[in-house]
Amino acid sequence: MHPEVVTEIPGPKSTRLAAELRRHESRNVTYLSKEWPVFWERAEGVNVWDVDGNRFLDLTSAFAVAGLGHGRAELVHALTTQAGTLLHGMGDVHPTRLKVDLCAQLSALTYERWGAGEGKTVLSNSGFEAVETALKTAHLATNRRGVLAFEGGYHGLGYGALLPAGFDKFRAPFASQLADLTTLLPFPDSEGDLSATRARLAQLDASEIGVLMVEPIQGRGGIVIPPAGFLSLLRDWCDAHGVILVFDEILTGFYRTGALFACDHEGVVPDLICLGKALSGGFPISACVGKASVMDAWPVSAGEALHTSTFLGHPVGCAMALEALRLHQDPATLAAVQSVARTLGEGLQVLQMPGTSEIRGQGALWGLVFEDGAEANRVVLAMLQAGYLLLAGGPEGAVVTFTPPFEIAEDEIGSCLETLLGI
């Protein structure tokens, strides 16, 4: 089903809501202009309807959360059933059976599946909290302060998560309150660059570095795929220097890249893995899962957790995550991603879109690189007008990114690419 635009974009209701929002929400949160945004009202599968009755084809999965589709019936059922039974609990004091099952499932799908023993989990709400759990865990495990990360890396915006941030624009306004603990390396995107990474690592004094935080494929950084051997290079370096290796798979996890986790493509096992977004398919829940030996750097609770939060192990989030994990294990999910990889990947290649310099991606995660941010922005806006939801990423905003729900049909991708070529 192709998009259906029945009003100007944004329509009159969206325009009115934008004016109201301007009055009452901090002006930094929602970008508001004459042309942006539309206000969402409902969504189903690959379609989103706005308050003015326009139907959009969603090529974003709403920040790569709804890979299984918007409003997926099984997830809605898990949510409503659980909400009617126990809407909120006391996650770290009087937990639920669901938390037990979710932690066990996460262990089974990570460290046990990787043949690395059992995994242990700390649950949280947003992605950046899982990142901060990983940073704290690494500090407890190594007693070292230093953080190694990559330019263009995005790990969320909490104060802790800003330590490994590879985007200066997010750090700079708060830099005076952030400890100067971070070394940033360039993220490699070609064979040549890998030898540069190897050389840089060899020169580093690792004695004060406790953690290496990396996205196996950079998402917000502009869908940057490193050369084969990158993750094993990092694994070997961390092993040699006693540094905790963290894979931030908050974006890449759960088949987004064509494997359950992006690190599965290379068969490299991290010490800690951060998960979020598609973990539940729509409820704010995240997890830091670690090798039991590393996670046991945390002392046994003597009555009060050193790291927890009010909504940790939320019963609705756990119920949805368990259902999402079940759906992800259905072979139909991988088959759907493989079909998107073919149709979208090949479609972008043959498109030969003028003004673009590169197409990169795998699975259901693709980026089209434009000359600059202004051009990518123009394309995103024109596509919105035509009924397609897209986002721009990359350090300069020059990469139009595609992270569609896995069930998107071939003809929907076809109509999107045709429209793209015509704007």
Ligand X SMILES: Cc1ncc(COP(=O)(O)O)c(C=O)c1O
CA distance 147 to 340: 36
Q: How far does Cα 308 stand from its chain's mean position? A: 22
Which is closer to ligand X, CB of 61 or CB of 126?
126
User: Which residue of this chain has its Cβ atom nearest to ligand X in the complex?
Assistant: 127
256 binds ligand X (CB under 6 A): no
Q: 267 — alpha (psi -120 to 50), left (phi > 0) or beta?
A: left
Structure tokens at 383: 């596509």
Site string for ligand X, 297-336 (x = CB under 6 A): ----------------------------------------
Which is closer to ligand X, CB of 252 or CB of 415?
252
Which is closer to ligand X, CB of 3 or CB of 258?
258
CB of 158 to ligand X, least distance (A): 7
215 binds ligand X (CB under 6 A): yes
122 binds ligand X (CB under 6 A): no
254 binds ligand X (CB under 6 A): no
Which is closer to ligand X, CB of 5 or CB of 59?
59
Which is closer to ligand X, CB of 132 or CB of 412?
132
Interacting residue with ligand X among 50, 52, 58, 248 (CB under 6 A): 248
272 binds ligand X (CB under 6 A): no
Three-state helix/strand/coil letters over the chain? CCCECCCCCCCHHHHHHHHHHHHHCCCCCCCCECCECCCEEEEEECEEEECCCCEEEECCHHHHCCCCCECCHHHHHHHHHHHHHCCCCECCCECCHHHHHHHHHHHHHHHHCCCCCCEEEEEECCHHHHHHHHHHHHHHHHCCCEEEEECCCCCCCCCCCCCCCCCHHHHHHHHHHCCCCEEEECCCCCHHHHHHHHHHHHHCCHHHEEEEEECCCECCCCCECCCCCHHHHHHHHHHHHCCEEEEECCCCCCCCCCCCCHHHHCCCCCCEEEECHHHCCCCCCEEEEEEHHHHCCCCCCCCCCCCCCCCCCCHHHHHHHHHHHHHHHCHHHHHHHHHHHHHHHHHHHHHCCCCEEEEEEECCEEEEEECCHHHHHHHHHHHHHHCEECEEECCCCCEEEECCCCCCCHHHHHHHHHHHHHC
251 binds ligand X (CB under 6 A): yes
Site string for ligand X, 69-108 (x = CB under 6 A): ----------------------------------------
CA distance 404 to 413: 9
User: With CB under 6 A as the contact rule, which of the stretches 84-92, 151-159, 255-263, 406-414 interacts with ligand X?
Assistant: 151-159
Which is closer to ligand X, CB of 209 or CB of 223?
223
User: With CB under 6 A as the contact rule, which of the stretches 13-21, 38-46, 126-134, 228-236 interacts with ligand X?
Assistant: 126-134
Contacts for 6 with CB less than 8 Å, ≥ 6 apart: 52, 53, 54
Interacting residue with ligand X among 219, 226, 253, 317 (CB under 6 A): 219
Which is closer to ligand X, CB of 251 or CB of 259?
251
412 binds ligand X (CB under 6 A): no
CA distance 361 to 61: 16
154 binds ligand X (CB under 6 A): yes
Three-state helix/strand/coil letters over 62-81? HHHCCCCCECCHHHHHHHHH
367 binds ligand X (CB under 6 A): no
CB of 166 to ligand X, least distance (A): 11
CB of 186 to ligand X, least distance (A): 18
Which is closer to ligand X, CB of 124 or CB of 197?
124
CB of 368 to ligand X, least distance (A): 18
360 binds ligand X (CB under 6 A): no
User: With CB under 6 A as the contact rule, which of the stretches 10-18, 137-145, 148-156, 299-307 interacts with ligand X?
Assistant: 148-156
CB of 46 to ligand X, least distance (A): 20
124 binds ligand X (CB under 6 A): no
Q: How many residues bind ligand X (CB under 6 A)?
A: 15
CB of 274 to ligand X, least distance (A): 7
Which residues of this chain interact with ligand X, rule CB under 6 A?
A: 63, 126-128, 131, 154-156, 215, 219-220, 248, 250-251, 276
